[in-house]
Structure 1
């Protein structure tokens, strides 16, 4: 596990999972929302984002959290040696977006750029939930089926499987040392 793509629908806990995995493995973490929206609501140009994304993929060790854009998504999934697809039931994603909205008024959500407009970003997440579930999630499922023999694939379908994932990673002896070689 040297190049890890963490992806899935909004509100699935990808940022929290990615941060914890980075801490456990020593792999550098790149949060796409922070790259695309460095000051919260101001987006970098598409060319600048793609250039930064390209530089990340050219390195030999990374965890990339998030969607980015369609042009970079499939490149990243192809380049990754490990895929973590957070595919929880839609109601869980919806509830966690709601929880993030409420908590976000008191402290910035995990993985979000500083000064992010919590209400506006949450409303965008609500719009994305159904669209992703209907159109992109089936493509993700198809993709991981196609590549499961050539990549490490972690298809997380329940909140219990998140804990099991970390337990399995934690049980690997000297995982941090092996991840850096």
Structure 2
């Protein structure tokens, strides 16, 4: 594992797992949320997202955490390992609510400066609908690269814990 992509619903634990893997493996981690947002939640244009990711994947090793479906293929093609955090929607919603309270009015360390934690109905709806709307597309993309990549699907906190215990 030298080029790792972490994908999954909001609240699935992508950033936390990315940090833990970075510490364990000594590989730099890049949170797309810190790279694709400017202050006041201004999104970075797709062309800039593509440029940023092209530069990241040119490195010898990396962990990239984030979904961003419009540019996901760039990461999936370059990765040697893809970790899909496919946790229950109730777990993800709970975690997002918890982090919203914990980081209220301030940015998380895995979020861009000037983007304080926020929550709205559209984001909660996206998380709730993720298994039915985004998961099928992700599974299709994973099936397309399955013959050349290591794909790890983690479906529970226990799966994540066991994976971390064996990651080297």
Residue 60 of structure 1 pairs with residue 60 of structure 2: yes
Aligned residues: 168
Alpha-carbon distance in 2 for matches of 1:143, 1:54: 19
Structure 1 segments of 4 or more deviating over 6 A? none
Residue 100 of structure 1 pairs with residue 114 of structure 2: no
- The one-character-per-residue Cα deviations of 1:95-137 (angstroms, maximum 9, x if unpaired) are 11111111112764351223323224x5453132134222211
Q: TM-score with structure 2 length normalisation?
A: 0.88
Q: CA offset at residue 82 of structure 1?
A: 0.1
User: Within 5 Å, which residues of 2 pair with 1:41-120?
Assistant: 41-68=41-68, 70-105=69-104, 108-120=107-119
Q: CA offset at residue 138 of structure 1?
A: 1.8
Residue 153 of structure 1 pairs with residue 151 of structure 2: yes
Residues 6 and 86, structure 1, Cα contact 8 Å, conserved in 2 = yes
Residue 127 of structure 1 pairs with residue 125 of structure 2: yes
- The one-character-per-residue Cα deviations of 1:29-63 (angstroms, maximum 9, x if unpaired) are 11101001143523233222221111112222111
- Counterpart of 1:178 in structure 2 is none
Cα RMSD, aligned residues only? 2.0
Name stretches of at least 5 consecutive residues in structure 1 with no aligned partner: 170-174, 176-181
Residues 41 and 115, structure 2, Cα contact 8 Å, conserved in 1 = yes
Residues 97 and 125, structure 1, Cα contact 8 Å, conserved in 2 = no
Name stretches of at least 5 consecutive residues in structure 2 with no aligned partner: none
